[in-house]
Structure 1
Amino acid sequence: MLRSEGRHRGAADEQPWALLAFDHRERAFASVRPLGMTREQIGDAKGLIFDAFTVAVERGLEGLRPGILVDEEFGAPIARRAAGAGHAITMPVERAFEQVFVFEYGADYQQHVLAFRPTYAKALVKHRTTDPVEDKQTQLARLRALSDFLAERSIGFMLELIVGQVNETADSIPTVDLEQLCGSMAEMQSAGIQVDLWKIEGIASPDAAARVAQQAAAGRHPGTCVVLGNGAAGDVLDRWLDVAAATPGFNGFAIGRSIWGAPVAGWLDGRLGRDDAIESIASTYTSCARRYLGAMIGG
């Protein structure tokens, strides 16, 4: 049995999360390289990313709680190494690229979660208030069962809720579809789903971010938010980090391809040596952490 830090509820007095996400499954992970990747290359690349994470943590990420998101299929050894070193781990339970949430391991999902006992179990779902009623009911019932299971075992629940983005800012920075996001969050809360940490698409407006944080804290089980990266370019990611960091109720970030995509592709193509790729990932991850801290209210 692996180490768990228990059920985190994202209390306001906790240090923000700096989560390096590489839980992407085969198709999504390989998409960062035009030539794609073999399964062996994916496993090797995930090991490289974890080595970069370790380098960054050893150099120091004061003021933040570092952690990783990694999948069982390609990253089980990494999860065990991370847990053995005392790092927080988050692991997905969803099957990739399904329109309605499906458990990766079907009825056996509970045994897989308990084999690792991660700090958080994560479910990525697409959910809009305008989706077919039957699909929403099926999804909500499955998420409620997962939520109840995790709560009973003091394992945190991270919900990555994807509703889509729009361009509503004067400088064309993408921002989450606010009405759909808050409406979908409310539907899940009304269904009794207990979310500890909402993983949210980037938000360009402080007012919109404040509304999302308020919705996350609503209901009988208040939660907090982390902002995801969505493979965004640097200027877009910087805005999302700045807005999230300055908004009470946001508690860090969970970013993946924006940090490791180019270095991994460069390493596999022979344009970067392994040490250089590790250094690039560690440096960008650290830069995101420092930017988040610098933008925090009172930071």
Structure 2
Amino acid sequence: MATADDQPMAVLAFDHRERAFSSVRAAGMTHAEIRRSKELIFDAFVAAIEGGLGGARPGVLIDEEFGASIARRVAALGLPVSMPVERASESVFTFEYGSDYRQHLLEFRPACAKALVHYRTTDAPETKRTQLGRLRELADFLAERSIAFMLELIVGQSDSADGEIPSVDVDELCGSMAEIQDAGVQVDMWKVEGISSREAAARVAGQAVVADPRATCVVLGAGAPNDVVGHWLDVAAATPGFSGFAIGRSIWGAPVAAWLDGRLAREEAVDQIASTYTSCTLRYMGARVG
């Protein structure tokens, strides 16, 4: 995976499982529709690469349940694949395949394994011990197998006035990162909620390297509107220590829903997703430090 000094990572994230993926459409989705939609997103990913991404390094974040074949195809293209290990929609981090998560990862050998965890310094001590123990187990296993560890740490946004660009609660984020680091959890890449200022982003990037000087941050999209995501990309790109983005629903949500509802032809949906993914990537590259 990329470091802050390498080509920035432009990760198209569609590892969402049933509830999160279907949330982009009022009518929801069947399993077959989810699989078809992920194939459509993959086609858009390939189209964007063929059109050029300004020197960024493309990659995908894709799940095994609905995207196993996509993961293999992306790997066959020589591009990095990241895969989730968490069970979806759990308040406490739990392995998707229980103790068998190791075998599932080794079957695919992704460049990176991603764990999403909701964690705050104010959580109950027993909950924190449980989550930290599981994260440390995962991190140790990944380090032994030379698989990078991406930790998607969700702490929530701070209060913002009307008209302000929303931002993650930076004090809480840095405090939670510190507790995770103090517990011996080695993280290669911190996937963090959007940050509204460079000063705040610099604090987060500085916290990321406390335990490992090679660690970096990537910004997520949280399904936010284009103008908000664009601002978050500008801030991340202009902050040393950020190495790209991993964005999903903000890029593909509306076109997927419109295609399933018959409001867009498949080719139009592919073009829209590819165009938005490309725009995010080029915006990041244009705002990048140096």
TM-score, normalised relative to structure 2: 0.98
Q: Give the corresponding residue for 2:96.
A: 104
Residue of 41, 46, 61 corresponding to 2:33: 41
Cα gap change, 1:169 to 1:194, in 2 (>3 Å)? farther
1:5 aligned residue: none
What residue number does 2:234 align with? 242
Corresponding position: 1:176 with 2:144: no
Residues 113-192 of structure 1 mapped to structure 2, 5 A cutoff: 113-168=105-160, 171-192=163-184
Cα deviation, 1:183-207, whole Å, max 9, x if unaligned, reads 0100111111111010000000111
> What are the ranges of 5 or more consecutive residues in structure 1 without an aligned counterpart?
1-7
Distance in structure 2 (CA, Å) of the matches to 1:222 and 1:186: 16
Q: Deviations over 1:7-57 (max 9, x none)?
A: x4x433211100000000000000000000000000000000000000001
Residue of structure 2 aligned with 1:77, choices 52, 69, 90: 69
Matched to 2:89, the amino acid is F
Q: Any residues of structure 2 matched to 1:215-226 within 5 Å, and which?
A: 215-220=207-212, 222-226=214-218
- Could you list the structure 1 runs, at least 4 aligned residues long, displaced by more than 3 angstroms after superposition: 167-171
Check conservation: 2:54, 2:285, Cα contact below 8 A: no
Match of 1:285 among 260, 277, 281: 277
- Cα deviation, residue 221, structure 1: 5.8
- The separation in 2 between residues aligned to 1:41 and 1:12, in whole angstroms, is 37
Aligned twin of 1:28:
20
- Residues 257-287 of structure 1 show CA distances to partners (whole Å, capped at 9, x for unaligned) of 0000000000000000000000000000000
% of aligned pairs identical? 67
Report the residue type matching 2:14 in the other structure. Answer: F
C-alpha deviation, 1:296, in angstroms: 1.0
> Which stretch shows the higher mean deviation, 98-107 or 215-224?
215-224
Contact 2:87–2:94, Cα closer than 8 Å, also in 1: yes
Distance 1:211 1:170, change over 3 A: farther
CA distance in 2, matches of 1:269, 1:170: 33
Task: Quote the RMSD (CA, aligned, Å).
Answer: 1.1
| Distance (whole Å) between structure 2 residues aligned to residue 131 and residue 148 of structure 1 | 24
Contact kept in structure 1, 2:54 and 2:282, CA below 8 Å: no
- Other-structure match for 2:42: 50
Which sections of structure 2, spanning at least 5 residues, go unmatched? none
Shift of 1:61: 1.4
Instruction: Output the amino acid matched with 1:136.
Output: K
1:268 equivalent in alignment to 2:260: yes
* Distance in 1 between residues matched to 2:23 and 2:235, nearest whole Å: 28
Partner in structure 1 of residue 198 of structure 2 = 206
In structure 2, what is the Cα distance between the partners aligned to 1:221 and 1:123? 21
Distance of 1:12 and 1:144 partners within structure 2: 24
- Relative to the length of structure 1, the TM-score reads 0.95
CA–CA distance in structure 2, aligned partners of residues 101 and 238 of structure 1:
30
